[in-house]
Amino acid sequence: MISILVRRILSLVVTLFVVSLLIFTVMGLLPGDPAAIMLGTSASPETLAALQKQLGLDQPLPVRYLAWLAGVFRGDLGQSYTYGVPVAGLIAERLAVTIPLALIAIVISVLVAVPLGVQAARSHNGAFDFVAGLFSYIGIAVPAFWVGLLLIILFSSMLGWMPAGGFPGWDAGLFAGLEALVLPAVALALPQAGVLTRVARAAVLEVMNEDFVRTARAKGLSDGTAIWRHAVPNALVPVVTMLGLQFTFLIAGAVLVENVFNLPGLGRLAYQALSQRDIVVMQDVVLFFSGLVILMNFVVDLAYLAIDPRLRAGAQ
Amino acid sequence: MRKAFRRPVFLIGLFISLALFSVALLSLVWTPFPPTKMNIVQKLKAPLEFGLLGTDQFGRDVASALMVGAWNSLSTSILAVALGASIGTMAGVVVAMRRGWLELIVMRGCDIIFAVPPILSAMMLGAFIGSGRFTAIVAIAVFMVPVFARLTLSAALQIWTRDYVAAAVGMGRSKATITRVHVLPNISNQIIVQVTIQLGLAILTEAGLSFLGLGMPPPAPTWGRMLADSQTFLGQAPWLALMPGLAIALAVLGLNMLGDGLRDLLDPRDDS
């Protein structure tokens, strides 16, 4: 067990390292001078040279990469040009919105998808199966940011029950904070739920007729108990896998949904950095998001080991 | 062929996809009104009050803009998927042929590319080379490469274990010839299915990119930017937010159903 863990962590570190190197190189090779982009066309040559020096652009690419990497280990991601504050602090501040948003969305999608998928599998080819299938088709096809717009139209402009956007900050209280995140999280959860319902249904269908579920029924458990206690836990592995695979799309969705609801999260930060041409912030946010996706896949890998004892045995 | 008519998923998908393509093509020669022509007097009219689906804040006809939007969205997505699928498939079959360290590098590379959502790579590209259709196509295509590389590799590896491939090797056929004669034709069905499904995903991504202003620049109508513009008028003219979203959802739904239907239809193991 320990040796698997060590191997996985080593591979994680190597991947993170390569990703950072790759993104850094691509950014370095792209045409356009970041300093010139950030200052716009009206900048004097002196200001340009000063900013180039401040960003370290007068140094060769490998030196810049190593300096950046050393900074990361010290928790220093550089200065935001537009905000004039350290990027690390900026990211940390925005994470307080994005992480709860993503987590609530994941919880909602699992709570919707697993029961739906299980029931669909139980009524295989029946009416409920059809409805669940329709739900997942629609969920997958509908853009999260559009669902966000529809929710705003319904719950804030028509019914007036919910705020149309913005975030009061966690200082305003847990409830106010959560209230601002409910609609965005639902919008973000719908496409995920569509995908997960399919996966849960297929997974339950696959194990439903296995011997151990039949045995559970034979020993007198009701159909429902047999499935929930014996089939569903076995069907969770693919669901967790899909959650990991979908994480990239969850993040992409969060970038859009944060912009619809005007939430000061990481996705909004990336967008603002783009419109203000704050290259340093952009680069750090992209790297951070990519790191998060990789880390998530790592966590999913570990979750397998926790969920499925067969994998533990197999890996040794 | 008769099998096709007993598959509702396939039929509905085919119908929606054909409708989408027809509307997109029709927009090239005809729209009810010139899609970018402003008519301030008729601004923010409700559906049927002016034109079929009403007008936007500049009095432009929504139905016409949606039609041209279908063409813009489809053509961008098709180019992106074509680019990503060709590079990915090529990488997949070559890796299946060579294996070894090449497999390790390409597959790790796929993991890495997959870690950067297309929205973010489009933002990065947009910052450096400016946003526009080219940026959108590249960002989406880059993300498609690992999808097709992984699919092709696993499918091609299966073919390489078959007896007829072993026979071809025994006959002294070169690996490149075997790939061309045996591997590619046998995995083409899976690739076609994947192209259909990824086209839906590309439309979804393109909509997101234009929503953020990273797609085709105005005045070219795109579904994503129509949604972005509608945000200012959610209370006044909610229908402006309804139609483009419905168009996106319908297009993606149709392509997904077509892809699923094709998968069922092209699966030789299933004769039910």
| Chain B residue with Cα closest to A255 | B119
Range B63-78 average pLDDT: 93
| A147-161, A301-315, B53-67, B95-109: least confidently modelled range | A301-315
Contact criterion met (CB < 8 Å) for B123 and A259 = no
User: Which residues of chain A have a CB within 8 Å of the CB of B231?
Assistant: 149, 260
What is d(CA A219, CA A239) in angstroms, rounded to the nearest whole number? 28
Pick the more confident residue, B34 or B228. B228
Range A295-303 average pLDDT: 82
pLDDT bracket for residue A199 (50, 70, 90): very high
The shortest CB-CB distance from A27 to any of B124, B126, B230 is to B124
User: Which residues of chain A have a CB within 8 Å of the CB of B205?
Assistant: 252
Range B163-177 average pLDDT: 91
Contact criterion met (CB < 8 Å) for B115 and A294 = yes
**Residue B4 in this model has a pLDDT that exceeds 70:** no
* % of chain B exceeding 70 in pLDDT: 96
Q: Could you report the per-residue pLDDT of B256-271, keeping only the tens digit for each?
A: 999 999 988 887 665 4
**Residue A315 in this model has a pLDDT that exceeds 50:** no
Q: B113, B128, B138, B226: which to substitute to probe chain A, counting the most A Cβ within 10 Å?
A: B128
Contact criterion met (CB < 8 Å) for B120 and A285 = yes
**Residue A175 in this model has a pLDDT that exceeds 90:** no
The shortest CB-CB distance from A248 to any of B115, B208, B252 is to B115
What pTM value is reported for the model?
Answer: 0.89
**Residue B156 in this model has a pLDDT that exceeds 90:** yes
User: Which residues of chain B have a CB within 8 Å of the CB of A290?
Assistant: 112, 115-116, 120
Range A123-140 average pLDDT: 91
What is the per-residue pLDDT for B272?
A: 42
User: Which residues of chain A have a CB within 8 Å of the CB of B248?
Assistant: 141-143, 146
Other CB atoms within a 10 A radius of the CB of residue A181 amount to: 20
The interface pTM score, or ipTM, of the predicted complex is 0.89
| Chain B residue with Cα closest to A296 | B115
What is d(CA B216, CA B224) in angstroms, rounded to the nearest whole number? 10
pLDDT bracket for residue A1 (50, 70, 90): low
Q: Could you report the per-residue pLDDT of A225-244, keeping only the tens digit for each?
A: 878 888 888 778 888 888 88
User: Which residues of chain B have a CB within 8 Å of the CB of A18?
Assistant: 108, 112
pLDDT bracket for residue B104 (50, 70, 90): confident
| Chain A residue with Cα closest to B125 | A30
Are the CB atoms for A239 and A200 separated by under 8 Å? yes
